[in-house]
Amino acid sequence: MQFVMPDLGPVMPEISLAVLALFILLADLFIKRKETIALMSIISVGVAAYLLPGSMGATFNGMYISDGYSAFFKFIFIANVILTVLISVKYIEIEKVNFGEYYCLILFATLGMMLMASAGDLIVLYLGLELMALSAYVLAGFIRYDRKSNEAAMKYFLLGAFASAFLLYGISMIYGLTGTTDIMAISDYIVKHGLASNPVLMLSMILFAVAFSFKIAAVPFHMWAPDVYEGAPTSVTAFMSVGPKAAGFAVIGRVFMVAFGSVQVEWAAILIPIAILTMGVGNIVALSQTNIKRMLAYSSIAHAGYMLLGIIAGAQDGMASVLSYMLIYGFMNIGAFAVVIMLRSEGFKGDNISDYEGLAKTHPAAAALMLIFMFSLTGIPPTAGFMAKFYIFLSAINAGYTWLVIIAVMFSAISAYFYLRIVMYMYMKEPKETVRLSTSPALALALAITAAAVLIIGVLPSAVVNFARIALGY
Amino acid sequence: MEFINSHLLSLITFVPLLGALLVLALPGTREDIIRWSALVITCIPLLLSLLLFAGFDRSFAGMQFIERYAWIRDFNINVFMGVDGLSMPMALLCSLICPICVLASWNIERGVKGYFFLFLLLEAGMLGVFTALDFFLFFVFWEVMLLPMYFLIGIWGGPRREYAALKFFLYTLIGSVMMLLVIIYFYLASTPHTFDMIELARTNSLFDYRMLCWFGLFIGFAIKVPIFPFHTWLPDAHVEAPTAISVILAGVLLKMGAYGILRINYTMLPDITMRMAAFMAALGVINIIYGALCAMAQKDLKKLVAYSSISHMGYVILGMASFTDEGLNGAIFQMFNHGIVTAMLFLLVGVIYDRAHHRDIDSFGGIASVMPNYAFVTFLAFFAALGLPGLNSFISEALVFLGAFQKYRILTAIAASGVIITAAYCLWTLQRVFLGKLNEKYSLLPDLTVRETVSLVPLCIIVVVLGVYPHPVLNLMKQTVSLLNRIITGAGI
C-alpha cells in the first residue's frame, strides 16, 4: 500500500495557525510582557488570513473543503479573534488572569472553528467542534478564583458534552443509514435512494438540529447561555457570542443545505419551531434582565433566531443573508461587549444595567458608542443591524415564509424596549456614582473598528452583500 | 446656480444633515455660535424651498425636480427624489417651521450642542420623508426621524419625559415594522424587483393580499396621524416635549402619517382604498368629535392643544376619504394650515409656560391686560383654529365639508357639530386665560420679546393671507389632486 501525500494547500491557513499557536504557547514561557503575546496572536491569525485566499480547493479525499463559503466564515473568525484580543489586553490584567495561555486558547478555539467551517466530512466536523468546545470551556472558567466563572465553565462543559453526544448519535445514525460520513456522499445517497421520509433520517436530522442548536444557543437548548455569558470573563463572552455561533451556523449551512439539501421541507419543519421559540424566548426574557451580560446573552439568543430564518428560507439568497447577518452581528455584538468591558475597572464590576445611569454625562464618548451598538442590535437604520435584518426578512419572504417574518418583526419591535432601556439609562437618568472607565489604546482601536463597521455597512451595505454572494458563488 | 437648480431636493434634504455634523464639530461651550449656526443652517432649506416654490410647474400633475442616484445596487435601491403637488406643500411647511423652532429653542440651556445636532437630524429626516420616491429610502428617513425625536423628548422634556419618549418610540416602531413588511412584499411582488414608488403605483395590480397590505400600511400611518384608537401616545409626547419639539410634532410629524396614506395607500392600493372609504370617513369623524370633546375637558393648556390636533387631523382624514377634488384639496390644505396654526398655538403655550411655569388654564385670568400683544396673537391663533372665516383654516375646513357632504351626508353633518365643540373650547379657553379678573400673581408678566415676535409674525401673516387668498398653496396641489382622484375613482369602478 502506497501512501500518497495529500495536497496541503487548502489546509495551509489552519496548519500555519496551529504551528504559530504552539509556538506562542512555548514562547509564553520566556516572555514577561503579555502584550507581546497578544500581538503575536494577532500576527498569527494575520498570517492565516494572508494564506486564506490562496488556499481554495478540496483535499484529504474531500474531507476538507476550502471554498468561498468556508473562507467567508474564516474571515469572521479571524476578525473575531483580532477584536477579542484587542478588548482583552487591559481587561484580563484587571481581572488578574493575565496569562499567555489565554491567547493560545483563543487561537485553538478558532482553529477548531476553521475546521468546522471547512469540514467536508462529519468526522472532521466533530473534531473541529470538540477542539473549539474544549478550548471554550477552559476560557469560560479562566478567572479561576471567581466562583461564577467556575460555575460557567462547569455548566458549559456538562451541557456541551451532552450536545456532543447528540451529535455523535446523529453521525452514527446517518452512517448506519448511508454507510458514509462524507457530506457530499450522504447527499447523493439520500437522493439516489429516495430517503425523503425515512424515519431514521428524520431522527438523525433531529439529533443534528439539537447539537447545533446548542452551539448557536437556540431555544430550548439555550439554558447554558445566560449563566455562561454572565460568569465567563467578559472578553470571552464577547468571543463566544460570535465565534462558536458563527461556527455553528457554518456547519448548519453545510450539513443541512448540502447533506440534507434534498429534504429541505423535512428539516425546515424541525427548524421553524426552534426559530420561533428562539426569537420569542430571547427577546421576551431579555426584557426582565438587570445584568447587562445576561441581557446581551438573551439578545444573542434572539439574534440566532433571526439567522435561523435565513437558513429556513434556504437557497442562495437565504444563505447570503445569513452570512451577511453573521458578519454584521459580529461587529455590533463585540462592540457592545467592548463598552461593557470599559466599565469594568479595579474594584468595580460594572455589569449591572443600573451602572449605565447617566453615562452620557460622565463619559459621553462611551455612551455614544453604546448607543450606536444598541440601535444596530435593535435594527434601526442607518445602522448595519438594519441592513442585516432587512436582508434576512427579504429572503425569508421571498421563500414564502411571510408569516414567520411577521412573527420575527413583532419580536424585533419588542426587542427595542430592552435595547432602548440601556440608552434611556445612559441619556435620561442622572449619574449616581462616578463610574471610572478603563480604556487602553487597544480597546479604543477595537471600538473604532466596530463602530465604523456598523455605521459604514449601514449606509453602504453593498460590499458585505457582494462579499457574501461571491462567497456563495453567484 | 446651475448646480443648485439641478440638485434642489438633495440639497434641501442633506444640508440639514451636513449641518448636524457641522454642529457636532463645533466646541460645545460656545453655545451662541451653535444656536446661530443652527438658525443659519435651517434657513438654507427654507430659501431653497422658496426656489422650489418659484420654479414649481403648477400645471403639471406628475413628479418634478426629479433626482436619481444609485445607492445599493444589489437590491435596486436608489436615492430617488422628487416632488409633486402633494409633497410640495409639505416640504414647504417643514422647511418653514424648522427655523421658527430654532428660534423657539433659543432658551434651551442644557446640552445645547446635542439638542441642535438632533434637531437638524430630525429636519433632514422629515424633509427626506416628503421628498423620497424610493420606498426603501422613504422608510430609512421615516426611521431616522424617530431617533432624534426620542432623545429630544426624553432628554429635554418635562417630568414624565422618559415614559413619553418610550411610548412614542414603541408606537411608531410597531407601525413602521408593519410598513417594512409591506415594503418588502411589494418589492418582491414587482417584476423586475423595485422600490421605485412611481413604478410600484403603476404596476400595483401585481400585488396579492391587498387588504392585508392596506391595513399594514394604514396602521403604520394611522399611528402617526394619529387616528383613533392609535392616538394615546400623542397627548403624552406633546405635553412632555419641549415647546419647539411639540411644534415639530404637531406641525410636521402628524402630517407625515396623512401624507403616507395619500402617497402610498392611495396610489399603490387604490381599489382597497376605495372600498375602505366609508371606514376612513367614520374614523375621521370620530377623530373630530372625540378630539374636540377631550380638548374641552383638559385643564392643561398644552394638553388641550394636543387634543385639538387630533380633532383637526380628523378633518384631513374625512376630506381624504371623500374622493372629490374639493375634499382632497381641502384635506391637503388643512394639513398645511393645521401645521401653521398648531405651531402658533404650541409656541404661544410655550411663551406663557416660560413666564408662569405652569399651564393650568383655570389659574390664569385677565392676562390680556398685562400682555396685550400676546393676547392678540393668541386670539388670532385660536380663531384660526376654530375656523373663523377670513383665516386660513376656514377655507380648508369648508372645502373638506363641501367634498365630504357629496358622499357622506350624515357623517358630515355629525362632523360639522365638531366645529361647534371646537368653537366652544377655543372661546372658553380664551375667556378663562385672558378675560375676567386679573390674577394678581401675574400682573408683572412681560409681553412678547423680540425673539418670540419674530417667530410668530410670519405665521400670523400666513394665517391671514391664506385666509383671504389661498391660491398660492391651492394652485400647487390642484393638478396632482385631480390626478390622484382619477386614479382612485378609476380603480373603484
The verdict on a CB contact (< 8 Å) between A381 and B173 is no
Closest of B293, B355, B334 to residue B477, by C-alpha: B334
User: Which DSSP string corresponds to A337-360?
Assistant: HHHHHHH-BTTB---BGGGGTTHH
Answer with the residue of higher pLDDT: B202 or A176.
A176
The verdict on a CB contact (< 8 Å) between B185 and A461 is no
The verdict on a CB contact (< 8 Å) between A380 and B165 is no
CB of A175 less than 8 A from some CB of B:
no
User: Is B294 strand, coil or helix?
Assistant: helix
pLDDT tens string A118-163: 999 999 999 999 999 999 999 999 998 889 899 999 999 999 999 9
Residue A344 C-alpha, separation from nearest chain B C-alpha, in angstroms: 26
The verdict on a CB contact (< 8 Å) between B74 and A462 is yes
The verdict on a CB contact (< 8 Å) between B155 and A424 is no
Residue A2 in this model has a pLDDT that exceeds 80 = no
CB of A456 less than 8 A from some CB of B:
no
Residue B158 C-alpha, separation from nearest chain A C-alpha, in angstroms: 11
Measure CA A391 to chain center.
19
CB within 8 A of B375, min separation 6: which ones? B367, B368, B434
Residue in chain B closest to A368 (alpha carbons) equals B114
Residue in chain B closest to A404 (alpha carbons) equals B181
CA distance linking residue A439 with residue A426, whole number of Å = 18
So what's the pLDDT on residue A376?
A: 94
Per CB-CB distance under 8 Å, the chain A contacts of B169 are 416, 420
The verdict on a CB contact (< 8 Å) between A406 and B169 is no
CB of B212 less than 8 A from some CB of A:
no
User: Within a 10 A sphere around the Cβ of B208, how many other Cβ atoms?
Assistant: 9
CA distance linking residue B45 with residue B15, whole number of Å = 7
The verdict on a CB contact (< 8 Å) between B144 and A427 is no
Cell 395619500 -> residue:
B262
Closest of A241, A378, A219, A354 to residue A297, by C-alpha: A241
Per CB-CB distance under 8 Å, the chain B contacts of A460 are 72
DSSP state of B251: I
Strand locations in B108-233 (E): none
CB of B14 less than 8 A from some CB of A:
no
The verdict on a CB contact (< 8 Å) between A375 and B165 is no
CA distance linking residue B386 with residue B381, whole number of Å = 9
CB A92, CB A233: distance < 8 Å: yes
ipTM of the complex: 0.89
- According to the per-residue pLDDT averaged within each range, which of A61-65, A108-112, A146-150 is highest? A108-112
So what's the pLDDT on residue A61?
A: 85
CB of A460 less than 8 A from some CB of B:
yes
So what's the pLDDT on residue B261?
A: 92
Strand partners, B67: B81
So what's the pLDDT on residue B342?
A: 92
CB of B70 less than 8 A from some CB of A:
no
Residue B177 C-alpha, separation from nearest chain A C-alpha, in angstroms: 6
Q: What is the pTM of this model?
A: 0.92
Q: Which three cell numbers stand for residue A217?
A: 444557543
Residue to mutate among A394, A401, A459, with most B CBs inside 10 A, is: A394
Cell 445607492 -> residue:
B71
CB A182, CB A245: distance < 8 Å: no
Answer with the residue of higher pLDDT: A247 or B437.
A247
Cell 421559540 -> residue:
A277
CA distance linking residue A65 with residue A58, whole number of Å = 4
Per CB-CB distance under 8 Å, the chain B contacts of A393 are 180-181, 184
Per CB-CB distance under 8 Å, the chain B contacts of A413 are 170, 173-174, 177
Residue A80 in this model has a pLDDT that exceeds 70 = yes
DSSP state of A119: B
pLDDT mean across residues, chain A: 91
The verdict on a CB contact (< 8 Å) between A382 and B180 is no
pLDDT tens string A289-341: 999 999 999 999 999 999 999 999 988 889 999 999 999 999 999 999 999 99
Percentage of chain A surpassing pLDDT 70?
100
The verdict on a CB contact (< 8 Å) between B181 and A380 is no
A381: preceding bond cis by omega (within 30 degrees): no
Residue in chain A closest to B156 (alpha carbons) equals A428
Per CB-CB distance under 8 Å, the chain A contacts of B155 are 427-428
CB A305, CB A279: distance < 8 Å: yes
Split chain B (493 residues) into runs of 10 and give each run's mean pLDDT. Answer: 82 90 85 89 91 87 87 88 90 91 87 89 92 92 89 86 88 88 90 88 84 91 88 88 89 90 90 89 92 90 90 91 89 92 91 86 83 89 89 90 89 89 90 83 83 90 91 88 83 50
Q: State the average pLDDT over residues A406-431.
A: 89
The verdict on a CB contact (< 8 Å) between B178 and A460 is no
CA distance linking residue B193 with residue A55, whole number of Å = 37
So what's the pLDDT on residue A163?
A: 92
CB of B162 less than 8 A from some CB of A:
yes
So what's the pLDDT on residue B282?
A: 92
So what's the pLDDT on residue B493?
A: 43
Residue A208 in this model has a pLDDT that exceeds 50 = yes
User: Which DSSP string corresponds to B357-425?
Assistant: S--BGGG---GGGT-HHHHHHHHHHHHHHTT-TTSHHHHHHHHHHHHHHTT-HHHHHHHHHHHHHHHHH
Per CB-CB distance under 8 Å, the chain A contacts of B144 are 381-382
Question: Alpha-carbon dihedral of residues B131, B134, B136, B141, nearest 10 degrees?
Answer: -10
Q: Which among A381, A406, A428 is the nearest to B144, CB-wise? A: A381
Q: Which among A409, A465, A466 is the nearest to B177, CB-wise? A: A409
What angle (nearest 5°) sits at the alpha carbon of residue A157, between those of residues A213 and A352?
80
